[in-house]
Amino acid sequence: MLPGPRGWEAVKTILDLRKDPLGALLRLQRNYGDILAFRYGPVRRVLLFDPPSVQRILQENHTNYDKDSPFYHMLGWFLGKGLITSDGELWKQQRRLIQPAFHKSRIDSLVPMIRQQTQKMISNFRRGEIIDVAAAMIELTLGIIGRALFSQHLNARDNGIGSAVEEIQRQMQSRFRSFYPLPPRFPTARDRRFRLANARLRDLVRRQIRRPKAEDILGALPPMPEEQLVDEMITLMLAGHETVATTLSWALALLSRHPDQRHNDMGRVVLETLRLFPPVGVFGRRSIGPDRLGGYAIGPGQIVSTSPYVLHRHPAYWSNPEGFDPDRFLQDPVKGSFVPFAAGPRQCIGNYLALTEATTILECLRETRLELVPGQRLEIDPQITLRPRGCLWMRVRA
């Protein structure tokens, strides 16, 4: 029988997860070990903090695990049937169609544009001014993903994209934490706000799809039904700027606290930032048939989840796990211990784009000294992505 909280302890665990999800997951790993189970509402969940088991569900035995779970059903309300939420034959078909558009050579060709957009942002900085770096990174990466996908500059302030994305993010998180999440189809004020935000984003994408093809990712995609293409573009747009912006915000805060690392390799800085602050705090799969994980039998239809946030801090696999040490990536991590973009066949299709974009932007910002304002607290806002809570105020020193 799998270890884990039972009875009143399980109730307290649920309350703890709702109040402090990341801290609660760390405490579960400390108290019950690398594999445990408990009931959350109507669903029994298995939590994995064991790299070999994570590697098994994502790579070695991935055909036994799909995304037929409440979490991905809920994401589908917001993202449609894009690559993140689709499964089975639809996912295989779409992955084959979209993968060539993310070929390394195509992504590398975007580097001059990324540099240009970053230098344009830097040119507006003034020595001594205090800026909200989190907002600046959102604005920068939204503009970059717009040019990469559509050859168009997307401005969060001009067309309401920023507020639409923010509304969708808030609603995804609130429903994710609910015991019995309901689809946004009711005549409530909250559901109406979602429908308005969703319509705004979809109208934007449809306008881009219907224009003449250009030399961008959209133009590189083969024909597919319009609504499927809208779902894919919405998924890429939301995931493609939010995760990079969040990573950059944390990286700049970490570099401010560790100025000796400013001239380190920025690729390793990005990887270490992703270790400490992975884009997604929790993800999971559903077992199709029986399996064994960590020496325990797993039955069919079981929801199996892991937390990169906890996994990346496992003391058996990471020395000084809370420390900021980019040079730890001079060596490859143990398989299954570092999964910021998942792994295996369902690894995020945009992982190379995200790494290239974040590294290029940090290289451009290397000589721009951004220092955390004294008293600025660094707290995680555990939404679907692990963004900084509130504004991230930094002063431009040079």
Residues 117-142 pLDDT 10s: 999 999 999 999 999 999 999 999 99
DSSP 341-367: TB-GGGS-TTHHHHHHHHHHHHHHTTT
pLDDT at 181 over 80: no
In a domain, 161, yes or no: yes
- Pairwise CA distance, residues 141 & 243, whole Å: 9
Residue 343 lies in a domain: yes
Q: Give the C-alpha distances (Å, rounded to integers) separating 360 from 32, 42, 252, 265, 270.
A: 41, 45, 13, 11, 10
- Of 153-167, 239-253, 372-386, the poorest mean pLDDT is in 153-167
Q: What is the pLDDT of residue 190?
A: 84
Residue bearing the bigger pLDDT, 61 or 211:
61
Name the token pair of 196: 């308005």
Rg of the chain taking only CA atoms, in angstroms: 21
Is 353 within a domain? Answer: yes
Structure confidence at residue 177 (pLDDT): 66
- Provide the domain count of the chain: 1
Distance CA 308, CA 271 (A): 13
Evaluate if residue 166 carries a pLDDT over 80.
no
* % of the chain with per-residue pLDDT over 70: 97
46 within domain boundaries: yes
Q: What is the C-alpha to C-alpha distance for residues 389 and 99, in angstroms, rounded to an integer?
A: 34
Q: Evaluate whether 127 touches 370 at the Cβ level (below 8 Å).
A: no
State the DSSP H helix or E strand holding residue 382, giving kind and residue range, or none if neither: strand 380-382
- Residue 151 CA to residue 143 CA, distance in Å, equals 10
Domain range for 181 is: 8-396
Does 158 score more than 70 pLDDT?
no
Q: What is the CATH number of the domain that holds 203?
A: 1.10.630.10
* 19 against 131, higher pLDDT: 131
Residue 305 confidence (pLDDT): 95
Average pLDDT over residues 87-92: 92
Model pLDDT, residue 28: 96
Does any domain span residue 172? yes
What does the pLDDT read at residue 239? 83
What is the distance between the alpha carbons of residues 336 and 49, in angstroms, rounded to a whole number?
9
The answer to whether residue 2 is domain-embedded is: no
The predicted model gives 213-231 an average pLDDT of 91
| Residue 189 predicted with pLDDT over 80 | yes
| Higher-scoring residue by pLDDT: 167, 365 | 365
Q: What is the mean pLDDT of the chain?
A: 91
C-alpha triplet 120, 141, 392: angle, nearest 5°: 90
Model confidence band, residue 283 (pLDDT cutoffs 50, 70, 90): very high
- Average of pLDDT values for 158-182? 71
Q: What is residue 159's predicted lDDT score, i.e. its pLDDT? A: 59
Residue 306 has pLDDT above 80, yes or no: yes
At residue 78's C-alpha, the angle toward residues 336 and 205, to 5°, is: 105
Residue 303: strand pairing partners: 45, 286
Region 267-282 average pLDDT: 96
> Any residues with CB less than 8 A from the CB of 142 and at least 6 apart, and which?
154, 155, 156, 161, 162, 241, 245
Residue 209: the pLDDT is 87
Confidence of residue 194 (pLDDT cuts 50, 70, 90): confident
DSSP string, 46-83: EEE--HHHHHIIIIITGGGEE--SHHHHHHHHHH-SST
Contact present, 67 and 76 (Cβ < 8 Å): no
Answer yes or no: is 3 within a domain.
no
pLDDT digits (tens, 9 = 90+) for 96-121: 999 999 999 999 999 999 999 999 99
Mean pLDDT across the stretch 220-236? 92
| Mean pLDDT, range 285-299, rounded to an integer | 95
Q: Is 285's pLDDT higher than 70?
A: yes
- % residues pLDDT > 90 (the chain): 69
Q: Under DSSP, is residue 296 helix (H, G, I), strand (E, B) or coil?
A: strand
Mean pLDDT of 165-178: 72
